[in-house]
Amino acid sequence: MNNSGTMTVTAPTECEIVLTRVFDAPRRLVFDAWTKPELLRRWFGPHGYQLVVCDVDLRVGGTWRYVLCRPDGTEIHLHGVHREIAAPERLTRTEANDYCDAEAGEESLTTIVLVERDNRTTLTSTMRYPSKQIRDAMINFGAESGIAESYDRLTEVLAALVRTVAQ
Amino acid sequence: MIKLSGYETAAHDHLDVTFAALADPTRRAILARLARGEASVMELAEPFAMTQPAISKHLKVLERAGLVSRGRDAQRRPCHLEARPLRDATEWLEGYRRFWSESFERLDGLIDELKSMGERDMTASDEQPGGRP
């Protein structure tokens, strides 16, 4: 029908993971959905999860804080600081979760860029991780089919491995 | 129940060790070989242009990560694949991907709804979202 709905994952540099996704909407709408608590509460998190706290101080230097409630009632705490805001096309913020607080340098930097064409918006979310190992492992594992060709063989090997292990 | 651990890194410490061990292509190949059944160091060294000591080094990394265990047979000491850390790592990655793909599906639904409402109460913006030429 249309190609919105297809998420791809690539790794353009050593410590970055890039998600792209097309939405059937103008970018102002996507930007709002990404930054307004009343809208975020309605989509952020997988099916069955609920964003029970969503504080967004949308200013450079302003903080954001989410508490995401799992179906079993336990919580995930996410927070960070806005670094750059250029509505409706660009947003950069730091991201950390409470489990990582103990370890310095575990926070990541995420930039979303929204490009609009013909009333559709391509979202590019670039996550810069402090740990190259995590990024490498994600890519090498080929958890996503949209990754570069050079990883295809690894994907096969690991898919076979994982199938075996899962038995 | 599905673990959505892309943002749930309580098990972060041992995942780091697992991922570090998996970051090397030789070690991944060793694991792929062991997925087909146990093997001695000599058998593992065969398909690689590597010496047994070099393979042993990789095996030590894999052992420390809990991905491989060694048998007690003093002569042969066969290597076994240990499933658990690999499964945890796979779940972490799958959880991450799923976290975002499911969130984006929900966002699609929200977008449809907002568009059908006419978008006008969405923003206090200077732009007209629907106003493309």
Sequence spans of domains, chain B: 9-113
Domains held by chain A: number:
1
Output A76-84 pairs: Cβ under 8 A, ≥24 positions apart. Answer: A76/B7, A76/B8, A78/B7, A80/A107, A82/A57, A82/A58, A83/A109, A84/A60, A84/A111
Helix (H, G, I), strand (E, B) or coil at A116: strand
**Residue among B8, B32, B93 whose CB faces A76 most closely:** B8
- B76: closest CA of chain A, how far (Å): 24
pLDDT digits (tens, 9 = 90+) for B19-59: 778 777 788 888 878 877 889 988 888 888 888 899 999 99
Give a yes or no: residue A7 inside a domain.
Answer: no
Quote the mean pLDDT of chain B: 75
**Residue among B28, B89, B98 whose CB faces A154 most closely:** B28
Q: How far lies B115's CA from each of A7, A30, A124, B17, in Å?
A: 22, 11, 22, 46
Q: Is A149 on the interface with B (CB under 8 A)?
A: no
Residue A124 is given by DSSP the state: E
Whether A134 sits inside 8 A of B19 (CB atoms) is yes
CATH at residue A99: 3.30.530.20
Give a yes or no: residue A133 inside a domain.
Answer: no
Over range A56-84, report the average pLDDT.
Answer: 93
Chain A residue at shortest CA distance from B8: A76
Q: Which of A40-54, A69-83, A136-150 has the lowest mean pLDDT?
A: A136-150
Whether A100 sits inside 8 A of B103 (CB atoms) is no
**Residue among A25, A49, A106 whose CB faces B111 most closely:** A25
Interface mutation vs chain A, best among B2, B22, B110, B120, most A CBs within 10 Å: B110
Give a yes or no: residue A12 inside a domain.
Answer: no
In terms of pTM, does the model score above 0.80? no
pLDDT digits (tens, 9 = 90+) for A101-120: 434 445 788 999 999 999 89
* Residues of the domain holding A63: 18-128
Contacts of A138 (CB under 8 A, 6+ apart): A9, A11, A17, B93, B96
**Residues of B with CB below 8 A from A9's CB?**
97
Give a yes or no: residue A45 inside a domain.
Answer: yes
Interface mutation vs chain A, best among B16, B90, B115, most A CBs within 10 Å: B90
Question: What tokens were used for B111?
Answer: 């977008």
Residue A132, pLDDT above cutoff 50: yes
d(CA A96, CA A77): 8
Give a yes or no: residue A139 inside a domain.
Answer: no
Give a yes or no: residue A149 inside a domain.
Answer: no
Over range A160-167, report the average pLDDT.
Answer: 44
Length of chain B measured in residues? 133
Q: Is A33 on the interface with B (CB under 8 A)?
A: yes
Give a yes or no: residue A150 inside a domain.
Answer: no
Chain B residue at shortest CA distance from A157: B32
A41-70: b (≥16 Cβ within 10 Å) or e: bbbbbbeebebeebebeeeeeeebebbbbb
The helix (H) or strand (E) run that includes residue A126 is strand A120-128
CATH fold of B9-113 reads Arc Repressor Mutant, subunit A (1.10.10)
Residue whose C-alpha is closest to residue A52's, from A38, A41, A63: A41
Give a yes or no: residue A141 inside a domain.
Answer: no
Model ipTM?
0.74
